[in-house]
Amino acid sequence: YFVQMGSDKYNLAATSEDGGKKKKKKTDIEELKKEVELVKKTTYLILMKTILSSEYIQTGLSSSRAKEILACDGPNALTPPPTTPEWVKFCKQLFGGFCTLLWIGAFLCFTAFAIQFTTENEPANDNLYLGIVLAAIVVITGFFSYYQESKSSKIMDSFKNLVPHQALVIRDGEKKSINAEEVVAGDLVEIKSGDRVPADLRIISAHGCKVDNSSLTGESEPQTRTPEFSNENPLETRNIVFFSTNCLEGSARGIVINTGDHTVMGRIAILASSLEGGKTPIAKEIEHFIHIITVVAVCLGMSFFILSLMLGYGWLEAVIFLIGIIVANVPEGMLATVTVCLTLTAKRMAKKNCLVKNLEAVETLGSTSTICSDKTGTLTQNRMTVAHMWFDNQIHEMDTTENQSGTSFDRSSPTWSALARVAGLCNRAEFLADQNKEKSILKVCLRETNGDASDSALLKCIELCYGSVMEMRDKHPKLAEIPFNSSNKYQVSVHENPNPSEPRHLLVIKGAPERILDLCSNIMIQGKELPMNDEMKDSFQHTYVKLGSLGERVLGFCHLNLPSDQFPEGFAFDTEVLNFPINNLCFIGLMSMIDPPRAAVPDAVAKCRSAGIKVIMVTGDHPITAKAIAKGVGIISEGTETVEDIAARLNIPVGDVHRREAKACVVHGSELKDMSPEELDDILRNHTEIVFARTSPQQKLIIVEGCQRQGAIVAVTGDGVNDSPALKKADIGVAMGIAGSDVSKQAADMILLDDNFASIVTGVEEGRLIFDNLKKTITYTLTSNVPEISPFLLFIIAGIPLPLGTVAILCIDLGTDMVPAISLVFESAESDIMKRLPRNPQKDKLVNEKLVSLAYGQLGMIQAVAGFFTYFVILAENGFLPTYVLGLRIYWDDKYHNDLEDSYGQQWTYESRKIIEYTCQTAFFISIVTVQWANLIICKTRRNSIVQQKMKNKILIFGLFEETALASFLSYCTGMDVAIRMYPLRPWWWLCALPYALLIFIYDETRRYILRRNPGGWVERETYY
């Protein structure tokens, strides 16, 4: 991948295969998923020999050759994916699925109105109003959806922010600062501290160079870069630096081996932007619901359209029947209701540190069955902290919680004072200037520092447990220093010693414990320097291994008081040609550091386990550290063994233990690289507790796809650029708000504002709650469909005057039912919400046969009876008995029949009959509102009694008053009889439906009582939705 050899000169992978063709415009996603690979070492050696033996190393490329390569390869930039025009995006929101059905309905309404307008002298405007309303619903919903979608910026835009503007190259033997886009493969590039790397470079010389690879690998520790090849994995070898990473220290010179889309970052960018995120679970559920409603509405409408023609109705009347039935079946306000419900939940989640970018992601988190979590900053605090110290031949455990208060140990020990002095002086970290001013206010652990993570951890520990490090440094001015480097593996500094009873100069060293031990001949115990004997060396080795096995980074500390006669005051210390000793020192102790788990994480992981959610750690960190943190937070539970643990317990080789014998496993990225999809599936299927360590961005994506092959709904957390492909592919991507890169935030569906894994569990609970509450909302809304449909059916079959008009149906669906339906989203969770297994997307549907049975076959039927009872009561009071009304419709609607007799022989004109009809329709409308009171109250809970759940939902109580007030306004407001044909009712007509409301309440309370008394019984199997 990195370098390809020609016959007598080198060609670089950024150029095309024949060195002269244009770059491919399309990239195979499967090819992008493959691991980045280095060339064979033999080819690499031939290349380097060719380069180093030529004058290239001094002069770089010629300007003419650079122009040729630039013309061949194109600029050093990320190619943006093809964009969709904004008008196309908007049109997509206006058509498809439910919108198409409403457009058809609107078209039919306009068609019917046009025919009526041309054939009748005084056509009714109902169909015109209805068509306008249906079209308005589609357009308003489309605008809202388009706005929601357009708020999310494109992923590639965030990648562009990673590209440096300038680069320092060597061409024609001269250093030139050029636009980074003009850098080509083969260029010699120099980088220094503070620079952003302009391309993938092979280092040929370096001076103390350290880079931040956290965006690619997830490791927060600065990585040393040297010309030496150190690892087959290109992401871990020391002689490669990557495009868009930052140089933190030192300087380096390197050869450009890849540019633009061919860089590691470019591959990730293309992969992240090319991946198609599938439909969210809630989108699939809503689509399933729409399909059911659409099929029912169209089938029922067409059936009665044909039936009405067979019964002798004209085709115009039959079309009007068809429109009425479709409108009555389709809950026009449902999409708006669902959108508002999701929006309100998203706002509630934002208050709990979960910022939702995609509304549908609100419920997806509740459906999650597997969480693939990053380690650093999500499960851990994202700050290195001193966890243990070893001095005076004892291990001391430190406080690693977020609010560190120090740890009780013998601070009066002279050895501790010596250890604190070495750790404070041999340390480059310092508190920021403004942090020092506020040190009396700000806790030590929260103060920001300059310096690498390990030095910062030591600085905070000494400041907390010993005292002011700045004062210590002021008393011990630094005279000389040898910085830490990869060959020595230690840092040396020489300081003045203000203590008159000690020699004038103090030499202090910290570094890798084994290297420090080799420099020492003595060890300090209780302040006294004793010879380093085998017993002490064994104790040291035992402690070192123990702390290392906990995944902690261990450092050793030693010092030496330089003799005053050999090193008098003013002595010039030379760090190039050492003129002072660094052997026969006194070993003082060890300090180990780790990025500790967040306090709330273990409990959050336990909640996930009780909720049936599998938590998998996926990290770029070392397997030992990953395993230690996984055990600390409960991802690997206490007593659960990995293959390595079983082998150690039985004292047998790891290869002799079968993988399936272990419930837990830690998989290294190098193992994952060689696994087939079937082998990965086997691990995911047969291990309940899994840690993936040293993973690459492509491997994180492969792990997500593996989980999805198992049928899991996968949530992925991440903060780096390396996480963006996995975040995009996951069912829900969760980025970190504090430590997260812009790229990861753009790829994700949700952002954790506090970077805390525990917030995800809160999000899961909210997601499950919204799914439960949407079920309640849909049940409430669908129940009124039956009393809305049945008037049209009897109107056609029995020939009675129309009991309910289409405009009244819209007043219910878009008026009185809206606020009560939305109020159900504010219902609190029932007791079992985090004790249930994640729902099965194939079986546990948002709208299932039990819900439809309850809404349509039981509660809806009672509501329909209530409406017809009220309708017939009012007709009877006005002289039209129920038996007389049957088959009366033809005469009733005849404009020229002005002497129609009622049951008592009274004659009615057309106008007077219509007033009674519209009054009955208003009463039918009011009766639906009345029985919906009871329906709203019983929909508060699916299992518990209303007595248990109580009426704590203030929005729901407001909804009851709102729908009553709106119904009263529509009935009694002056002018409504002309605008929407609603007439004032006599007060007692409101009471007709009350017994049915009471019946609904008693019926459902009884049903839920039986359900609780007989869990798993017939009632639960048939009615628990």
Average confidence (pLDDT) over 462-485: 91
Model pTM above 0.85: no
Share of the chain above pLDDT 90, in %: 35
How far apart are the C-alpha atoms of 829 and 169, rounded to whole Å? 62
> 371 near 842, Cβ under 8 Å?
no
Beta-bridged to residue 61, according to DSSP, are 171
Distance of alpha carbon 498 from alpha carbon 119, whole angstroms: 110
d(CA 759, CA 768) in angstroms, rounded, equals: 14
Is 518 designated active site? Answer: no
Give residue 277's pLDDT: 63
Q: Mean pLDDT throughout 120-129?
A: 74
Looking at the chain, the whole-number percentage of residues with pLDDT higher than 70 is: 89
Per-residue model confidence (pLDDT) at position 39 = 43
Report pLDDT for 2: 38
What's the CATH fold of domain 3-52+164-274? 2.70.150
Residues 6+ apart with CB under 8 A from 34: 698
Which residue in 653, 418, 393, 419 sits closest to 542, CA to CA?
A: 393
Tokens matching residue 752: 């954790």
Q: List phi, psi (to 5°) of 593.
A: -125, 150
> Per-residue pLDDT averaged across 666-686, rounded?
90
958-968: average pLDDT: 95
Closest by Cα among 839, 838, 821 to 774? 821
Once rounded to an integer, what is the mean pLDDT over residues 939-954? 87
Nearest by Cα to 112 from 128, 129, 135 = 128
d(CA 433, CA 424): 17
Do 241 and 255 touch, CB atoms closer than 8 A?
A: no
Q: How far apart are CA 537 and CA 523, in angstroms?
A: 10
What's the pLDDT band for 442 if we cut at 50, 70, 90? low
Q: How confident is the model at residue 50 (pLDDT cuts 50, 70, 90)?
A: very low
Q: Which residue has the higher pLDDT, 157 or 396?
A: 396
Strands 520-525 and 585-594: parallel
Torsion angles phi and psi, residue 488, rounded to 5: -80, -40
pLDDT (0 to 100) of residue 821 = 92
**pLDDT digits over 964-1008, tens only?**
999 999 999 988 888 888 999 999 999 999 999 999 999 999 999
Distance between CA atoms of residues 859 and 375, nearest Å: 50
- The CA distances from residue 274 to 74, 716, 721, 749, 783, in Å, are 21, 18, 15, 16, 43
Q: Which amino acid is at 112?
A: A
Residue with tokens 């009959």: 913
φ, ψ for residue 1020, nearest 5 deg: -65, -45
For the cut 50, the answer to whether the pLDDT of residue 12 exceeds it is no
Q: How far apart are CA 732 and CA 368, in angstroms?
A: 8
Contact 712, 369 (CB under 8 A): yes
Tell me whether domains 3-52+164-274 and 598-762 share a fold.
no
Partners of residue 522 on adjacent β-strands: 531, 586
Phi, psi of 975 (to 5 degrees): 100, -15
Give CA–CA dist 241/217, Å, rounded: 12
Domain ranges (residues) in the chain? 3-52+164-274, 385-594, 598-762, 784-1023
Q: Which tokens in the block code for residue 411?
A: 């601070």
pLDDT of residue 735: 87
Q: Among 34-43, 395-404, 721-730, 880-889, where is mean pLDDT lowest?
A: 34-43
The rounded radius of gyration (Å) of the Cα atoms in the chain is 38
Predicted confidence (pLDDT) at residue 733 exceeds the cutoff of 50: yes
Output the pLDDT for position 126.
72
Contacting residues for 918 by C-beta, under 8 A, at least 6 apart: 805, 977, 981, 982, 983
**Domain spanning 598-762: which CATH class is it, in words?**
alpha beta
Residue 532 is predicted with a pLDDT of 94
User: What's the CA angle centered on 616, arms 610 and 621, to 5 degrees?
Assistant: 140
| pLDDT computed for residue 328 by the predictor | 67
Domain 784-1023, what fold?
Answer: Calcium-transporting ATPase, transmembrane domain (1.20.1110)
> 55-60 long-range CB contacts below 8 Å, 24 or more apart?
56/188, 57/188, 57/204, 58/173, 59/170, 59/171, 59/172, 59/173, 60/169, 60/170, 60/171, 60/172, 60/173, 60/187, 60/188
Which entry of 195, 374, 817, 902 is annotated as an active-site residue? Answer: 374
Q: Whose CA is closest to 731, among 290, 268, 360?
A: 360
CATH of 385-594, one of 3.40.50.300, 3.40.50.1000, 3.60.15.10, 3.40.1110.10: 3.40.1110.10
How does pLDDT run across 506-555, given as a tens digit for each residue? 999 999 999 999 999 999 999 999 999 999 999 999 999 999 888 899 99
The region that residue 27 occupies, defined by phi over 0 for left and psi between -120 and 50 for alpha, beta otherwise, is beta
Rounded CA separation 95/81 (Å):
25
What is the reported pLDDT for 868?
Answer: 97
What is the SS3 string spanning 223-260? EEECCCCCCCCCCCCCCEECCCCEEEEEEEEEEEEECH
| Residues in contact with 751: Cβ distance below 8 Å, sequence separation at least 6, in sequence order | 354, 355, 357, 734, 735, 736, 737, 740, 745
- Residue 953's contacts (CB-CB under 8 Å, 6 or more residues apart) are 823, 826, 827, 828, 940
> Judging by beta carbons within 10 Å of its beta carbon (0-12, 13-18, 19+), is residue 252 exposed, middle or buried?
buried
What is the rounded distance in angstroms from the CA atom of residue 284 to the CA atom of residue 290?
A: 10
The single residue listed with the structure tokens 């007598």 is 8
646: buried, middle or exposed (CB in 10 Å: 19+, 13-18, 0-12)?
Answer: middle
